[in-house]
Amino acid sequence: GNSVTQMEGPVTLSEEAFLTINCTYTATGYPSLFWYVQYPGEGLQLLLKATKADDKGSNKGFEATYRKETTSFHLEKGSVQVSDSAVYFCALSDLRGGSEKLVFGKGTKLTVNP
Partner 1 sequence: ETGVTQTPRHLVMGMTNKKSLKCEQHLGHNAMYWYKQSAKKPLELMFVYSLEERVENNSVPSRFSPECPNSSHLFLHLHTLQPEDSALYLCASSQDRSSTDTQYFGPGTRLTVL
Q: Identify which of residues 24 and 104 has a Cβ nearer to partner 1 in the complex.
A: 104
Cis peptide before 10 (omega within 30 of 0): yes
* Closer of 17 and 95 to partner 1 (Cβ): 95
Distance, in Å, from the CA atom of 40 to the CA atom of 84, rounded to the nearest integer, reads 11
The nearer residue to partner 1, 98 or 114, going by C-beta atoms, is 98
Q: Are 53 and 29 within 8 A, CB to CB?
A: no
Min. distance of Cβ 77 from partner 1 in angstroms?
A: 20
b/e map 84-108, b = 16+ CB within 10 Å: bbbbbbbbbbbbeeeeeeebbbebb
Footprint of partner 1 (CB under 8 A): 4, 32, 36, 41-46, 49, 51, 89, 93-95, 99-107
Minimum distance of partner 1 from residue 100's CB (angstroms): 4
| Minimum separation from the CB atom of position 76 to partner 1 (A) | 21
